[in-house]
Structures are given as C-alpha cells and as structure tokens.
Amino acid sequence: IISCYPIHPEVFERLYDDWSTLENFQRTRGVLRFMAKVIHELWSKNDDNALIMPGTLPFYESHVNEELISSLEGKDAWNGVIAGDIDGDNSIPYRRDTAGSSRFKNVSACRKAARTVMLGSAPSVRGQSVRGIERSRILLGAVQPGDNISVFNDALNELKNELSFMYSDASGNMYWFDTRPTLQKQVRDREGQIRENEIQHEIISRLKDNAKRKGLFAGIFVCPKNDGFDVPDDKQGLRLVILGPDAGNGENAE
C-alpha cells in the first residue's frame, strides 16, 4: 500500500523533528503507527491526491488524530480544536471550502492549510521564543503541482481572521494552533452575551457625557425624542443634534 501512496518529505520532517521531541511520542514506532493509520484511511476513501502531504492528512478521522494528540497536553481540548478549527464536517475550514469561494473548494485550500499548521505547530512549547510554522512551510505542505499558490495564501489569511484557536505573529509569517482561544474569540463570546438595549444605553450615556463640553456650539442635544420637537428653537447660534443609534439613516426622510 505504501508504494501506491508517495509521501511528501515534509510529513516525515515534521514528525521526526517536531513530534518526536515529545516525551510520549515514539520516534520510530510512533511515526510508523501514525502513517499506517493515515495510509489505511486514505486508501479506504479512494483518495486521489498525488501524494500524502501535511495538507492531506485525514484529521477528520478519529483514529488518525488520536494517534497524534495522545502525546499532547490537554488531549480533550485538542479534540475540540480539531473538530472546530481544522477538519471534519462541522469545522470552519470545511464550511469555507464547501460553501465559500470555488477557488477554495476546488483544491480544499482551507482544510489543507489548517491541517498543515496543525502538524507543524501543535508540538511547540508555549514558552519558546519563536512559535509556529512559517508561511513558506505551510505552502510547501499544502500546495500540489498545478495549484495556484495565491489561493492558499488567501485561504490562510481568511482562516487567521476567522478561527478561534489559530494564532499568528505580527508579520503574518508564523502560524500556530493552541488550546487557548484567541483574543478575537473571547471578544466574540463577550459580544454575544451583551443585549442590544445595553449597548444602546452605553452609547447614549457616553454621548451625553461628551456633550457637556459644548465647545463652539450654543447647545448639544443628544438623541432627541418626538422627531426633534424637544429641541428648542429659541436660541441663537450653532447647535448640534446627535441622533440615537436607532434613528436610521434618513433615506426615507422628506
């Protein structure tokens, strides 16, 4: 079976150079056992990729990802990361590939990029000075002959903005997965816990605080009610009227 599935050297380099540094991952037996499960899964699914690459590893299959993450700290947390951010029918990369741009769908760009980052970054140590896998190595592990490299660059950029557990450095060159949610994920969660009326109340309160400093205006009226009838017109000078967040854009105004 192995002769029918040529394997990209990057797969072995990541397994031997990165994963074999983990205490519970056996350098020879662990690699062979993992690859045996990968090959069996791809063979049973009639995979037609030119060769086995980091981007084609079937992390959607529980026996495959279990073989790797059993060596990592926080095994249960990594299961959640894989299911949501990397592979499987409910993962974001899968949805982006199948429902998004046809450029991604034709080559499974999002899934391949996410799988490559997973293989190349999960064994890293949080305290090390340089974390993650370089963009060039991600492309090396995901792009096959004939593929357009720009498609995978675009997929990686979109995943960086959408995934909850993918991190990148300031330059956008290094990428890695972690079991801790990103700040972006935490903001989205907090946002979902705030009711709309609370948001509007906070906006109006801050506007009223700032309105106390009139500056050049003779008067500042924040979020007037009754279509502006409560704004007096007996004063001279320039006045500022600030509409509330629910006032609309005025397109239908006469």
Q: What is the per-residue pLDDT for 143? A: 95
Q: What is the per-residue pLDDT for 152? A: 96
DSSP letter for each residue of the chain? -GGGS-B-HHHHHHHHHTGGGSTTS-TTHHHHHHHHHHHHHHHHTT---SSB-GGG--TTSHHHHHHHHTTSS-HHHHHHHIIIIISSTTSHHHHHHHHS-HHHHTTTHHHHHHHHHHHHHTT--TTSSS-SEEHHHHHHHH--TT--HHHHHHHHHHHHHH-SSEEE-TTS-EEEE-SSPPHHHHHHHHHHTS-HHHHHHHHHHHHHHHHT--TT-SEEEES-SGGGTTS-----S-EEEE--TTS--STT--
| Stretch among 124-128, 151-155, 163-167 having the lowest mean pLDDT | 124-128
By CB atoms closer than 10 A (0-12, 13-18, 19+), residue 252 is exposed
Which of the pair, 244 or 75, is modelled with greater confidence?
Answer: 75
The mean pLDDT of the chain is 84
Q: What is the per-residue pLDDT for 225? A: 73
What is the pairing mode between strands 174-177 and 166-168? antiparallel
> What is the mean predicted confidence (pLDDT) over 17-22?
88
| Stretch among 189-193, 203-207, 219-223, 248-252 having the lowest mean pLDDT | 248-252
> What is the mean predicted confidence (pLDDT) over 220-247?
72
Q: What is the per-residue pLDDT for 234? A: 63
Phi, psi of 43 (to 5 degrees): -65, -40
> What is the mean predicted confidence (pLDDT) over 59-80?
90
Q: What is the per-residue pLDDT for 148? A: 94
pLDDT band at 2 (very low <50, low <70, confident <90, very high): very low
Span 113-126, pLDDT tens digits: 999 999 999 887 55
Asked whether the predicted pLDDT for residue 110 surpasses 60, the reply is: yes
Asked whether the predicted pLDDT for residue 141 surpasses 50, the reply is: yes
Contact 11, 53 (CB under 8 A): yes
pLDDT band at 79 (very low <50, low <70, confident <90, very high): very high
